[in-house]
Amino acid sequence: MPVQDECLARCDEIESLLRGVDEQWQLLQVRLEEAEETFLEGKLDSLKKWFYIDEVDLQNWNVGTLRHSIRDRLQRIIVAPITEKMMQRVGIAPSCEEEASWTVNKPTTANLIEELLNYFEVRVKPELGNAKIEDEKLSKKIRKTEKDETKAGVIALNGDTKKVAALKKQRLAVWETSQTVLEKLATPMKRVGTFFSDELSQDSAVRIIASVPSIVSRAICDYYFQRCTTDLDQIENWWRNTKATLQQKATIWEKLKEQEPRLLRNVEMGLEELVSRRHRYNMYATFGGNEIEVLRDLSSQKLEESVTLLAGLVSEMHKRLRMIRDSALWRIIDSVQGIHKELKAEAANVEVWPTVGLEEGVLALAEAIGCPTEESSPSHASSSVMAMGEEELCEAALGVMDRLGKLVGLCLDVKDYFEKLVPTGCQGISATMDAVVARVSKVNEELICLLDDPSPVSVRAWLDQWSSISDVDEGQRIEATMSDLPLKHDNDLAAEPRKLRRHWLSLLRGVQVLLNTPAIRAWAVAPLAVVEPGSPAGSWKPPSEVAQVDVDDLAVSMPPSPRWVLLAPPGGGQVYRPPERKSLPGSGSPVDQGAAGVPMGSNSGWRAEAPSTTCEDGLEMRQGSRPGTPGKFVDGAYVSLRPNSASMRLPPLVSSTAPSSMAKPLKKA
């Protein structure tokens, strides 16, 4: 057979085989899509019952939606393994020089069949076309040479003349490159044909199509299970932080436990049950999740039972999460706000000065003047003056002298604050503070004598002078003055002025306790005086560590809303991207890239309904699964709906179009 005929025949054979396997591959894709559509149509009623799925949801192909997740699962479990196995068995790879000439037109997601077709169209056919043109030119030249030689009387006795024979030998060089590129495709095409005969025979295709229901069912269950687990993690995190915040407010937390014990118990038990169901999911999810599970032969009845069990588990998680998120948590927030409001109302009618306790005052005073804490306080044995040496007595006297100096400054600051706060009526406070300053300054000067003669006798004499400071508040002048002082209620002041006033009231209470309590006076000048049992020296803590309830300082966040739950892209390979699709004919619009350009987790997808914490209410109302309600919660606030609006769906701002090959609407079962 002439070389040109052989090359053209082989080219036709390769092209026929390529078109055949490509048609077979595309047919498998179409059959997979049809099997998916048929299964979803048949199970639409069950999906509505389990997951409140609407037909519109199954037509949304945006990245991260249910329909996109189903198609991606089919691609990763069925199509991707076949493509990988085909690459392993065929192993076609053009050389660098050849790849540079056709890689411009190569799709980024092309499979092996598409690569072979592209290579054939870009490299083989043009090469054969050029060879055919050169061969025709050579044939014309040969015919012309034969004609010229015949006219000239040059006739070969046997065969062709030398010129004609030389020209015919050039035909081999013309077709040499074509033979080379055809030889490169010969072995791969034989392997492709063998692969399709072995792996994609009629029986194999039937088994592949039969696995679609299990894969689609598992994809749907996994999709909603992932949403449930994400929602559960958000709710658990919110409840853990909210509970810790409320427990710091001891009064509010105790009242909440008294008012809503059953509600709190139901929330705790509900979350524990949801965590248990989340762990139980892996026990039931034994079908359609990977290649190994797909290879297991499950009868239709066994698959139906497994799907019903797994979907029922996910559906129950979905319903329980809704009850906790949309009812129980908001009721807890309402109860907390009610308790908080009651405490504010109670605080608004309480006089301020009686609420400042003796311990609060002592602790504020100790922090201000530096009284010894548990760590720095000496023991009773070591604090005995009789056991101290002269050096130790001098060191103790210097510490007490510094402490009394701070007390003098504190009394002057207290006097200045109350004179500015209440210019008229605080004469008793001013006179008392002046008297304390005078008495403490005098006693503090006497410590210099103690430094000159550091002996137990001098210490006892100085302590007698120090105890006489109690005469300053004889007759409870501080208490009488504060009882008559017209102070505003806490509820009438802003947060900062209220905290500042509380601080100075605590310091004034501390000075009052110092003047009237011998144990506190001894503690204030320790270790010169022995700390008596029962004084706060052994249990002193800074005021910041004392458990106090500020009814105006309650920061509790709102429960999480499920409408912001975004699903992460599935693992294991490339994410499925719907193909590009043209706009409507005659519209003159450019190519619509569709969901292929939408990144995972993007908020660009349209929402047909207004955001609501009860995200499935609209679906349930349309399906008639429960009677319509007069309103719904939006960010925790109850909003009444307009008449007849509960069963209406707003048209989308931007239509979500499915890929052209799957754009037909689902039929009801």
Number of structural domains in the chain: 3
Q: How confident is the model at residue 545 (pLDDT cuts 50, 70, 90)?
A: very low
130 and 100 share a domain? yes
pLDDT of residue 124: 85
Structure confidence by residue, pLDDT tens digits, 476-520 = 888 888 888 888 877 778 888 888 999 999 999 999 999 998 888
Please check whether residue 408 is in contact with residue 437, taking contact to mean a CB–CB distance below 8 angstroms: yes
Decide if pLDDT at 227 tops 60: yes
106 and 145 together in one domain: yes
pLDDT of residue 644: 44
The enclosing H or E element of 39 equals: helix 3-42
Q: What is the pLDDT of residue 607?
A: 33
Note the pLDDT of residue 610.
Answer: 33
pLDDT at residue 331 greater than cutoff 80: yes
Range of the domain at 315: 211-349
Please report whether residue 555 resides in a domain. Answer: no
CB 549 within 8 A of CB 252: yes
pLDDT of residue 373: 62
For the record, the structure tokens of 632 come out as: 């719904």
- For 559-571, write each residue's pLDDT tens digit: 877 654 444 444 4
- What pLDDT sits at residue 30? 92
| pLDDT band for position 385 (cuts 50, 70, 90) | low
The predicted-structure confidence for 609-659, as pLDDT tens digits, reads as follows 333 333 333 333 334 333 344 455 555 555 554 444 444 444 444 444 444
For the ranges 97-106, 150-159, 326-335, the lowest mean pLDDT is seen at: 97-106
Domain shared by 68 and 172, yes or no: yes
Domain boundary at 180, 209, 238, which? Answer: 209
Asked if the structure places residue 425 within a domain, the reply is yes
Average pLDDT over residues 213-225: 91
Q: At what angle do helices 250-259 and 212-248 cross, to 10 degrees?
A: 120
Residues 336 and 371 in one domain: no
| 91 and 229 co-located in one domain | no
In the numeric block, which tokens belong to residue 291? 């290649």
CA distance 31 to 205: 9
| Tens-digit pLDDT profile for residues 395-442 | 888 888 899 999 999 999 999 999 998 888 888 899 999 999 999 999
Beta-carbon contacts of residue 278 (< 8 Å; ≥ 6 apart): 228, 229, 232, 317
Predicted pLDDT at 103: 40
Tokens representing 93 are 């790879």
Q: HSE on the CB side for 44, CA within 13 Å?
A: 18
Reading the block at residue 59, the tokens are: 């037509």
Cβ-based neighbours of 475, under 8 Å, separated by 6 or more: none
603 lies in a domain? no
**320 shares its domain with 271:** yes
Residues 342 and 373 in one domain: no
% pLDDT > 90, the chain: 16
User: pLDDT exceeding 70 applies to what percent of the chain?
Assistant: 74
pLDDT tens digits, one per residue of 233-284: 999 999 999 999 888 888 889 999 999 999 999 999 999 999 999 999 988 8
Please tell me the distance from the alpha carbon of residue 9 to that of residue 293, in angstroms, as a whole number.
Answer: 45
pLDDT top residue among 385 and 538: 385
Which one of 349, 372, 404 terminates a domain?
Answer: 349
Mean pLDDT across 334-363: 83
Supply the pLDDT for residue 541. 42
Please check whether residue 584 lies inside any domain of the structure.
no
pLDDT of residue 225: 92
Residues 202 and 225 in one domain: no
- Domain co-membership, 49 together with 88: yes
Confirm whether 568 is domain-assigned: no
pLDDT > 70? residue 669: no
Domain-embedded: residue 644: no
User: For residue 629, what pLDDT is reported?
Assistant: 42
Question: Which tens digit of pLDDT belongs to each residue from 283-318?
Answer: 888 888 888 888 776 677 888 888 889 989 998 998
> What confidence tens digit (pLDDT) does each residue in 25-81 have?
899 999 999 999 999 988 888 888 888 887 888 888 888 888 999 999 999 998 888
pTM of the model: 0.56
648 part of a folded domain: no
User: Phi then psi for 629, rounded to 5 degrees?
Assistant: -110, 155
Radius of gyration of the chain (CA): 45
Mean pLDDT over each residue of the chain, to the nearest integer: 76
pLDDT above 50 (res 10) = yes
Look at 576 and 405; give whichever has higher pLDDT: 405
**Position 115: which residue type?**
E
Same domain, 154 and 232: no
Same domain, 333 and 463: no
176 and 238 assigned to the same domain = no
202 in a structural domain: yes
**Domain boundary, last residue among 317, 332, 349:** 349
Nearest to 511 by CA among 391, 332, 365: 365
